[in-house]
Amino acid sequence: MDLNEKLGILADAAKYDVSCSSSGGTRKNKNGVGDSHACGICHTWADDGRCVSLLKILLSNECIYDCVYCINRSSNDVPRASFTAEEVIELTMNFYRRNYIEGLFLSSAVLKNPSHTMELMLEIVKKLRTQHKFFGYIHIKAIPGADERLINEAGMYVDRMSVNIELPSDKGLEVLAPQKPKKALLKPMHQISNKIIESKENKRLFKKSESFVPAGQSTQLIVGATPDKDLSILKLSEALYSNFNLKRVYYSAFVPTVTDPRLPALIKPPLLREHRLYQADWLLRFYGFEADELLSKTNPNFNPELDPKADWALRNLHLFPIEVNSAEYEMLLRVPGIGVKSAQRIIAARRVGRLTFDNLKRIGVVLKRAGHFVTCQGKTYESYSSNEAIVKDSLISAKLQPKSKKSVAGQMSLFSFVNDSEADESLSEFLLTESPSNSRQWLSYFNQPQDGRLLLSDIHL
């Protein structure tokens, strides 16, 4: 099998990992400069906002495991291939020299055994850094069950490592991935977390101390492959952020590419659930919410009609309206229509004077949503109501609509919102676009997301 054929198979097999997603496009050179190919090129975002294009591939899809939900499971009849270490290095260096990529995202199925796979990945990143002096971004997957020494050594050469938990509960793992006990998945995460802390402490004490996974670690959870509720998934994410100091938890709507009686009979991926979980994840990390505030045992799933913040506010109307000129910052963040930037601007602006509704508009507050929850100098907004049904209708109808009504097939587009709206409410207002109507269209969409859009799940913070 030649290298191009391997690249086609292993780049295609890597696309289901959303912890570093967004496929590239194919664009032939027409008397211009450069060209690109869809195979394996994706984009990620650095902490400082830079967009980094990555070669996204698997080292191998010849897996010894037979996870029911996975397209690369050992019993599935798909083309198989494995790169050698030299082939991955050659591709990376050649693509980098041609300015196709700025880094490498390398994952793998479990080839022979976890330690053998991890050893091959270590060989690749070590040679890239030491022999080829490659200083671009490298993100690799740590293989659960691999020797600790191999993971520790690999962490010295890469920018980010991730361990995919995939299924959010012990029961789900037991049924769909019995060869992956949860403890074996959490062990390398704990190990990486401890090494990151140790590295930071050493850097504080010694100037020339080596870095260990400086861009942090992440994980991915599959949504919809098991009966787990949103509450369970969100509480798991909360625990992962708290215990392992994860940089990000990614949520991947289950794509029904394989059929099995143990899997749910989905026609299309549950993208709305995935979207709501990303919104709630944002609230956990930047708005001070806790999972138990957003959901409960009696209300374990997110409201499909309202974003999690608006839904929380509607269930806690007794806490509102609050006076903008005296409310705490933490409470301002909980008002629908007030984002982090708006809340910071309110705090800064009221040091020099008392705010009015006109001031709030200029600050960027979305009064169509916030008007039911705030007062200014004791006065309510013109559309204010304390009636729950009226407030709910108002919140639903106040969803931010792009000026252009042109829809984009599939998942929501981050840039379609940013470009078309001047609002500041971050993730809570993203508009779901029209979805393909059948499974064939969905699979086609997932196989060919080559329109250059950047998906919500691509953002690394």
Q: Tens-of-pLDDT digits for all 461 residues of the chain? A: 888 888 888 888 877 776 554 434 444 555 554 454 545 556 666 556 666 788 888 999 999 998 888 888 888 888 999 999 999 999 999 888 888 888 889 999 999 899 999 999 999 999 999 999 888 888 999 999 899 999 999 999 998 899 988 888 888 888 888 888 777 888 999 999 999 999 989 988 887 888 899 888 999 999 988 999 999 999 999 999 999 989 889 998 888 877 788 888 877 889 999 999 999 999 999 999 999 999 999 999 999 999 999 999 999 999 999 999 999 999 999 999 999 999 999 999 999 999 999 999 999 999 999 999 999 999 999 988 888 999 998 888 866 544 444 444 444 433 334 334 333 443 333 333 334 444 444 444 443 333 333 333 333 32
Rounded Cα gap, residues 185 and 244, in angstroms: 12
Rounded Cα gap, residues 247 and 216, in angstroms: 6
Rounded Cα gap, residues 172 and 226, in angstroms: 6
Diameter over CA atoms, the chain = 74
Query: What is this structure's pTM?
Result: 0.78
